[in-house]
Chains A and B, each alone.
Chain A
Amino acid sequence: MTHVIDVPQILDERSFDQFAGGFAGAEGAARVLVDAHASEWASPAGLIGLLCAGQALLARGGVKPLLTVPAEREVAHYWARAGFFVHAADLFEIHGSVPRVKPNPERNVLLEVTPVTVADDVHAVVGRIQERSAAILTSELGLDPKATMGFGMALSEACQNIVEHAGTGGWVAVQAYSWRALGKRVVVIAVADAGVGFRHTLEATQGKRFGDRWGDATALEAALIQGISRFRDPGRGQGLAGIRRYLDRWHGKISIRSGTARIAIVPAWDRDEPLRDGLPRFPGAQVQLVVPEVEREAR
């Protein structure tokens, strides 16, 4: 019997747990259908989260899960322009009409869905995005030109988490869009993998120190708040700290979901919860960085 995972109509960081709940419920299912036919919108984090689900399901069962294409033509086209279907085809048996689009003609897609496995991929990603992000960050979001270099740094460090820790490949996507709750334009970097996750990565060096409290939430706190890495070298574990410094300067937000927990450094403009535990289990790590538009009067 086929287990159906419904893709929420709006798939973003708020609704991702609903999707993850469906994914967790598919444990042991012989055949899985990821049903996106009713989808109306997916954030970059949502799109690469779908790929992570496909990767994990394929690795688990050895059979490609099914994926239905969004019925709404514009939605399917947007997913195609964002580069989603190119990679989904390797992981899913796709049902429905996949639009044929020219690669990356969408202005708001700063970086289409791009695989990251090795350090060379990170170089390519940073190189490709730098000029496009400069235009968006300065002219559209009103950030100081200095913000562009830091943006490349943050993107690089976020991608390196996959290369250094995931134990498998992952994806990155960068888009500019309007953040409804904020009522502003934002640039969002989404990086995700279906690898081993933060808890597993840090367990050998940190598990004993935390004792009974050790889990996904404490692992995320150790990595993001305390800057702890699995290496004893004090020079390691600086990537997330560097991202935090950059986002702090430009009033941005970082959130990381791994396993059953999610942590966020919440800026004044957002009402997210700093730490949540006991969420539906989802493999790997999903990192989202949000850089908001500068207040008009501050420009």
Chain B
Amino acid sequence: MITSIDLREVLASSVGSLHSDLVTRSTGAKVRSSIEASLSAQSTDSAVVLDFSSVRVLDCSCADEVVAKLLLRRPSGPGGPTSWFVIRGLTESHAEEIDHVLRRRRLALVAEEQGGHPRLLGEVDPSAAAAWQVVLDRGSAAEQEIADALPLAIDETRRALDALVGAGIVRRAEGRYLPLTTAA
């Protein structure tokens, strides 16, 4: 199941703002609380698309409160997160702020800039980033396929894929790895 959340609408409903600027830490905390409340009624195993298309200014403090803390606080099981976040509609400026706050907390997620392709934001080691690109390009892939494509030793490939699953960037299903995108 995919849930799409328009950040501009959440901003309006949670703080009553007429503006489309996601700024200040306190605003970010209110927006995140609203998102968490709306998601709490949903079952786990769901993908959430955070839509920034209508957001004008995003500052670091608000990016940390909304995006980084959503990732930190999401439910998780033995196989990694049980809900996944993807971002779309970012401007270059938004992407820069989110990338920075995620790196600071050693987090990562998939994002799409306006009119752009999916990309990783935050901290991902090079092997994991390369493995993610193979999964994305192929739509899905098995561990051995990815190891052959890179090429990497199977152990190293497995570690990279485990890191991606743990970070909530790809999903594992029936022995294959699936990318998370806004069209997931």
User: Footprint of B on A, CB under 8 Å?
Assistant: 119, 122-123, 126-127, 130, 146, 149-150, 152-153, 156-157, 160, 163-164, 234-236, 238-239, 241-242, 245
Q: Assess whether B53 is interfacial by the CB under 8 Å rule.
A: no
Please name all residues of chain B whose beta carbon is closer than 8 Å to the beta carbon of A127 when the two chains form the complex.
18-19, 21
Query: A123 is contacted by which of B17, B58, B93 (Cβ under 8 Å)?
Result: B17
Please name all residues of chain B whose beta carbon is closer than 8 Å to the beta carbon of A130 when the two chains form the complex.
21, 56-57
Chain B residues numbered 72-117 whose CB sits less than 8 Å from any CB in chain A: 91-94, 96-97, 100-101, 104-105
* Contact A150 B64, beta carbon cutoff 8 Å: no
Please name all residues of chain B whose beta carbon is closer than 8 Å to the beta carbon of A119 when the two chains form the complex.
24-27
Distance in angstroms between the alpha carbons of A242 and B57 in the assembled complex: 13
Contact A152 to B64, CB < 8 A, known contacts A242-B59, A242-B97 = no
Number of A-B contacts (CB under 8 A): 87
Majority SS at the chain B contact face: helix
Q: Assess whether B68 is interfacial by the CB under 8 Å rule.
A: yes
Distance in angstroms between the alpha carbons of A152 and B24 in the assembled complex: 11
Distance in angstroms between the alpha carbons of A149 and B56 in the assembled complex: 7
* Contact B101 A126, beta carbon cutoff 8 Å: no
* Contact A239 B56, beta carbon cutoff 8 Å: no
* Contact A149 B91, beta carbon cutoff 8 Å: yes
* Contact B105 A234, beta carbon cutoff 8 Å: yes
* Contact B25 A164, beta carbon cutoff 8 Å: yes
Q: Size band of the B side of the interface?
A: 20 to 34
* Contact B60 A146, beta carbon cutoff 8 Å: no
Please name all residues of chain A whose beta carbon is closer than 8 Å to the beta carbon of B158 when the two chains form the complex.
none
Distance in angstroms between the alpha carbons of A157 and B21 in the assembled complex: 13
CB distance from A2 to the nearest CB of B (A): 41
